[in-house]
């Protein structure tokens, strides 16, 4: 519940949509909160009631990586209880990663089931976040489903059809999305609405798609794939394999315009469409430097999923558009 105070009158609305009115009493400088069930609570007028911050245990797998570390830092900033254990991506050994004042033990990939079993036993309400490696997506998801733990699959790549089928059969709560950035999610949602409401609007148009990420990203951007799917519904003949991947730093700076300071962490996407007679062009572009937009969105997804699990929601599989539509972005 969030309380927002105005000088004389304010409204409070809880989850059951019960509305209360606060009125200022000038003589005694006391606020009276009169609820519909006739109870009265008195508070000094200078008392500030903070927004209730979510607090639940969260475990971030892949803390040794830049994205995993960014999510862990954002989790602590949001007031979540960061579990000081994690497991690494395949072929990475044991190490300790310092996240604020928390020393996270990143254990070997082979130890992941033992680690998770122990964590779940001690923290049954834990939510897990995966930012490991594309090659481990399906294997990790199968383990999470086996143990029945709610999870956010932030790692791209893997067999996504198999991933969704695994989660569906296990009946486990999960957020699976090719994109965790809040504003990019909104753009993707708008594209999906346009594709649904105006199918064939770009019939006959040709398209070029270019996406640039740090050289360590080996797979094609999941966001680019999703946007291309929308354009296909809009009538554009374009194959996913035609997406141009830019991974060479020199070309990223000179041809794409990536700032040198962000060569190690960026996401630039460009979609260029041309009419059949070459007289009309459309360009869509979204460029991100750094990782904070994804880290914050991932924490939003974790809060969203924790609430769904606690409420025992009927729906189990979600994406970031579901998070956005529910107004769960902080």
- Sort strands 40-44 and 30-34 into parallel, antiparallel or unpaired: antiparallel
- 217 tagged catalytic: yes
Angle at 193 between CA 188 and CA 197, to 5 degrees: 150
Phi-psi region of 35 (alpha: psi -120 to 50; beta: other; left: phi over 0): beta
* Distance set, CA 227 to CA 67, 183, 203, 273 (Å): 22, 14, 16, 13
Kindly name the residue from 69, 109, 217, 233 that is annotated as catalytic.
Answer: 217
Dihedral of the alpha carbons of 286, 292, 297, 299, in degrees to the nearest 10:
170
Angle at 46 between CA 44 and CA 49, to 5 degrees: 85
* Distance set, CA 38 to CA 3, 12, 19, 21, 42 (Å): 19, 15, 12, 12, 13
Kindly name the residue from 213, 233, 269, 308 that is annotated as catalytic.
Answer: 213
71 closest CA partner among 126, 131, 120, 127:
131
Count of positions (residues) in the chain: 330
Kindly give, in sequence order, each residue whose CB lies less than 8 Å from that of residue 26, ignoring residues fewer than 6 positions away. Answer: none
Cβ(244)–Cβ(209) below 8 Å: yes
* Distance set, CA 299 to CA 45, 123, 214 (Å): 34, 18, 23
User: What is the maximal distance between C-alpha atoms in the chain?
Assistant: 76
222 closest CA partner among 175, 158, 146, 278:
158
The catalytic site residues sit at: 213, 217
């Amino acid at each position: 519940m969030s309380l927002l105070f105005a000088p004389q009158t304010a409204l409070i609305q809880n989850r059951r949509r019960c509305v209360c009115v606060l009125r200022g009493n000038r003589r005694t400088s006391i606020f009276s909160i009169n609820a519909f069930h006739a109870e009265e609570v008195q508070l000094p007028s200078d008392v500030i009631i903070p927004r209730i911050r979510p607090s639940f245990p969260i475990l971030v797998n892949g803390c040794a990586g830049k994205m995993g570390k960014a999510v862990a830092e954002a989790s602590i900033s949001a007031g979540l209880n960061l579990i000081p254990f994690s497991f690494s991506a395949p072929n990475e050994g044991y190490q300790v990663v310092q996240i604020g004042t928390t020393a996270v033990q990143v254990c070997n990939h082979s130890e992941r089931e033992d680690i998770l079993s122990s964590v779940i036993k001690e923290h049954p309400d834990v939510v897990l976040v995966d930012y490991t490696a594309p090659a481990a997506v399906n294997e990790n998801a199968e383990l999470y489903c086996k143990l029945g733990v709610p999870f956010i699959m932030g790692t791209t790549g893997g067999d996504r059809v198999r991933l969704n089928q695994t989660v569906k059969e296990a009946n486990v709560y999960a957020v699976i999305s090719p994109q965790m950035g809040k504003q990019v999610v909104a753009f993707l949602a708008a594209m999906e609405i346009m594709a649904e409401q105006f199918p064939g609007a770009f019939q006959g148009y040709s398209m070029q798609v270019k996406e640039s990420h740090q050289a360590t990203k080996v797979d094609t951007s999941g966001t680019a794939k999703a946007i291309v799917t929308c354009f296909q519904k809009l009538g554009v003949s374009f194959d996913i394999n035609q997406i141009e991947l830019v991974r060479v730093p020199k070309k990223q700076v000179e041809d794409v315009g990536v700032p040198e300071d962000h060569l190690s962490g960026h996401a630039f996407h460009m979609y260029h469409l041309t009419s059949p007679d070459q007289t009309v062009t459309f360009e869509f572009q979204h460029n991100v430097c750094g990782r904070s937009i994804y880290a914050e969105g991932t924490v939003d997804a974790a809060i969203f999923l924790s609430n769904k699990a606690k409420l025992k929601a009927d729906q189990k599989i979600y994406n970031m558009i579901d998070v956005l539509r529910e107004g769960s972005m902080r």
